[in-house]
Structure 1
Amino acid sequence: MTDTEDHIREFARIQPTSGTPQMGRFIAAMRRLQDITVSADPDAALWEASAAAIEEVCARLEEHRAPAGVAPAGRTTNLPGHGHPLMPPWQVVASGPEEVTMRGAFSRFHVGGNDAVHGGVIPLFYDWHFGMVVSAAGRPDSRTAYLHVDYRRVTPIEIPLEARAWIDAVEGRKLFVRATMTDAEGNVLSEANGLMIKLLAHQP
């Protein structure tokens, strides 16, 4: 048995799944809540009433906690952001062993100031994108060793964008990845490069 086969047997890979329309509606509502939370300025009474409503929903969902790998959030490939509210609502439009292309847009929730996407959101996106390149390439579970981003232009919100990530080089356990994000006119908004290292059997 090869080292790669040993590794795959040691670590159960997260299996993708499809989110139901009901889950899709819930995640869409969560994203809307995130956008509203950072843009609303209600009075104290409405803050209080809203908190009570959200706490009630949390209490109901708390009864249905599931372990990692069972809960669908982050695994639902048919939903924006794979059904995870932390991830920007982008979706894969093309995927192969060498390259993964995604399309989507950022929203008010992702603003750092002046309707520009927060600089910290961009590395989060690329880290997620690089992980999908690892999976598409059929590589074993890996961790990010480094991630470097060059900001070329301000990244806008509510504008359709595209990101392409591809394998730059492979050296044993090391997978070097590059990526670019562009707008509809082809302007490069940012570029990234990173190193993904295959986990050893004893590494979490």
Structure 2
Amino acid sequence: MTEPETRGFPELKPVDAPPELDRFVSAVRRLQDLAVSTNPPGDTWIAATEQIERACAELEQHVVADVHAPAGRATKLAGLGSPLLPPWTVTAYGADGVTMEGEFRRFHVGGNMAVHGGVIPLFYDWHFGMVVSAAGRPISRTAYLHVEYRAVTPIDTPLISRGRIERLDGRKAFLTATMTDPDGTVLSEATGLMIKLLPHQP
């Protein structure tokens, strides 16, 4: 029996997400920003928590497997429609590389209004996955990811990141990416290795 190209992963295809998802994820992102930037009195915390708990109870009735949830597969939405990912969108997608544009927000601050150092590798790991997909490579896992921080990454600022495959070596794809600000200042650079999975590898 021939092993499918998904290598044991569920086959995830881009979906046309319902328009309501865009508004919902935008609201969740706003909630994330507010959760780390406000200091209301105790009764406001309680009231807000109760509203969130009611929303969770309503959504829990509709939990589905990952292959059926549109979040993370909505390619036309910022962050693929997933609150886990920063609100960036793909602006160029092809075998020669992937360009992404977007910004980081208050939720992503690590200190002194700069983007948390750990958020940036998360972004690059996602970006590299998009590069591998655009190149038509099979399902791959990250073997390593190295980030060099060149300058402080600001929030609420339009940024751009360009990534591509540097070279291929059998199952291995070596990748690079660079993030810049509107003036072209290099904020960070990343290199990584993505390895194509063997049959039955998780």
Q: How far apart are residue 13 of structure 1 and its match?
A: 2.9
Q: Deviations over 1:73-119 (max 9, x none)?
A: 10000110000001000000001012000000000000001110000
Return 5+ residue gaps in structure 2 as ranges: none
Partner of 1:54: 52
Correspondence for 1:161? 159
Aligned to 1:185: 183
- Partner residue, 1:89: 87
Alpha carbons of 1:9 and 1:85: their partners in 2 closer, same or farther (altered >3 Å)? Answer: closer
Q: Aligned pair 1:6/2:14, yes or no?
A: no
- Counting matched residue pairs gives 201
Who is 2:131 aligned against?
Answer: 133
Describe the shift of the 1:41–1:136 C-alpha distance in structure 2 as closer, same or farther (beyond 3 A): same
Structure 1's consecutive aligned runs of 4 or more residues displaced over 4 angstroms after TM superposition are none
Question: Counterpart of 1:79?
Answer: 77
Secondary structure in 1 aligned to 2:3? helix
Q: Once the two structures are aligned, what percentage of the paired residues are identical?
A: 60
TM-superposed deviation, 1:126: 0.1
**Is the 2:7–2:201 contact (alpha carbons within 8 Å) kept by the matching residues of 1?**
no
The TM-score normalised by the length of structure 2 is 0.96
Distance 1:165 1:18 in 2: 25
**What is the alpha-carbon distance in structure 2 between the residues aligned to residue 70 and residue 127 of structure 1?**
23
* Distance in structure 1 (CA, Å) of the matches to 2:35 and 2:16: 28
Match of 2:172 in 1: 174
Q: In structure 2, the residue corresponding to 1:82 is in which secondary structure? A: helix
TM-score by length of 1: 0.96
Provide closer, same or farther for how the CA distance between residues 196 and 10 of structure 1 changes in structure 2, counting only shifts above 3 A: closer
Measure the CA separation in 1 of the matches of 2:42 and 2:132: 47
- Structure 1 CA distance for aligned equivalents of residues 103 and 92 of structure 2: 17
SS of 2:173 mapped into structure 1: strand
